[in-house]
Amino acid sequence: MRTISYREAINEALAQELERDESVIVMGQDHPWGGVLDVTAGLFSRFPGRVLDTPISESAFVGAAIGAATRGQRPVAELMFIDFMGVGFDQIFNQAAKFRYMFGGNVRTPVVIRTMYGAGLRAAAQHSQCLYPVFTHVPGLKVVVPSSPYEAKGLLIQAIRDDDPVIFCEHKALYDTRGEVPEDSYTIPFGQANVVRDGGDVTIVAIGRMVAMAEEAAKELAANGVEAAIIDPRTTSPLDTGTILESVGNTGRLVVVDEASPRCNLATDISALVAKEAFGSLRAPIEMVTPPHTPVPFSDVLEDLYIPDAQKVLNAAKAVVEYRR
């Protein structure tokens, strides 16, 4: 199969949906010029009038996407960096997320908010955050964190066709990652984890870019005779709890790898789920591999220390595998 980048996969998903469904519109800063990292390149001229530039007014244009979604459009708005949520969050969490419940079910808000997250580009504290735990916390939102080009395309097409508000979190350090992606349109359903790797000794749940770290660690583990199952939830809300619990049922051991800040994040969320629902099968403490409780540092030395890497995943996996009461 042909190989394309994560960036191209997203661009293709947008193009195919713009093509397929007239109600899809796309908006964001600099969109006539492909946006800040070229993700929407070419769409502006290819779909006249349906790809909109916006002022630096996140509340207004994200809110506009939401309002338009209630009136028959399927807007895809880009919050350039997820770090900018602070100037547009009300429209997302108090409006879009709550409409359906507050209005007694009498509305659909099929809006997608695409946004870049994650560390690794030396972009420092205000341009490197994960923050998907904040969106996951909010009832009424769906949250997608694709780990590969294949996931990115299928999940974005699903997001656009989905009738609920979706936060679509793209890791900026993955844009150049390449992978096999079908040319035809396809969807990946929400709430269905991908079992990246099977294994009976330890379960590693990893989010977004962390899936790659887990895979690297798993290779190393396998070389040492330890077979790790790797689960990529793909969507953090809804979360495929069944697949996680089933795997822990087999392995009795869990490591959760989350690039987000450590307090009240997905690592704690998934640990807590397992500590409640699969306690009987647990044979070791649940390890969490996360960054420290600090902002993201600028310096390359510090940022490299900050981000969870394969070595840290490996250490955590070893610790739970070797654990004896």
| Active-site option among 31, 127, 171, 293 | 127
Three-class DSSP labels, 279-297: HHHCCCCCEEECCCCCCCC
Residue 185 interacting entry, from ligand TPP, a second copy, another protein, none, C-beta within 5 to 8 Å by type: none
β-pairing verdict for 166-171 and 254-257 = unpaired
CB of 124 to another protein, least distance (A): 5
Which one, 117 or 150, has the nearer CB to a second copy?
117
Q: How far apart are CA 219 and CA 204, in angstroms?
A: 13
State yes or no: residue 249 binds a second copy (CB under 8 A): no
Of 140, 92, 94, 138, nearest in space to 115 by CA: 92
β-pairing verdict for 3-5 and 178-180 = antiparallel
- For the record, the structure tokens of 293 come out as 């409780």
Find tokens 């269905």 and name the residue: 192
State yes or no: residue 203 binds ligand TPP (CB under 6 A): no
Q: How far apart are CA 38 and CA 80, in angstroms?
A: 11
Continuous segment of H or E residues that includes residue 236 = strand 235-237
State yes or no: residue 207 binds a second copy (CB under 8 A): no
State yes or no: residue 302 binds ligand TPP (CB under 6 A): no
State yes or no: residue 267 binds ligand TPP (CB under 6 A): no
Continuous segment of H or E residues that includes residue 203 = strand 202-206
Q: Is-contact 201 321, C-beta < 8 A?
A: yes
CA dihedral 108, 114, 119, 123 (to 10 degrees): -130
Q: From the list 5, 53, 245, 285, which residue makes contact with another protein (rule: CB under 8 A)? A: 53
Of 191, 189, 192, 196, nearest in space to 210 by CA: 196
**C-alpha dist (Å) from residue 78 to 29, 37, 110, 126:** 7, 12, 14, 17
State yes or no: residue 192 binds another protein (CB under 8 A): no
Window of 79-87, 248-256, 288-296, 301-309 that interacts with ligand TPP by CB under 6 A: 79-87
Q: From the list 16, 29, 128, 203, which residue makes contact with ligand TPP (rule: CB under 6 A)? A: 29
CB of 50 to a second copy, least distance (A): 28
State yes or no: residue 56 binds a second copy (CB under 8 A): no
Looking at this protein, which amino acid is placed at residue 310?
Answer: A
Catalytic-residue membership of 293: no
Residue list 267-306, contact with another protein (CB under 8 A): 292-295, 297-302, 305-306
Residue 319 interacting entry, from ligand TPP, another protein, a second copy, none, C-beta within 5 to 8 Å by type: none
State yes or no: residue 60 binds ligand TPP (CB under 6 A): no
Q: How far apart are CA 9 and CA 28, in angstroms?
A: 18
State yes or no: residue 323 binds another protein (CB under 8 A): no
Q: From the list 48, 72, 225, 280, which residue makes contact with another protein (rule: CB under 8 A)? A: 72
Residues in the chain: 325
Residue list 90-149, contact with a second copy (CB under 8 A): 90-94, 97-98, 101-102, 124-126, 133-134, 136-140
Q: From the list 80, 155, 157, 270, which residue makes contact with ligand TPP (rule: CB under 6 A)? A: 80
CB of 245 to a second copy, least distance (A): 12
Q: Which parts of this chain interact with ligand TPP (CB under 6 A)? A: 29, 56, 58, 80, 84, 87
Residues taking part in catalysis: 127
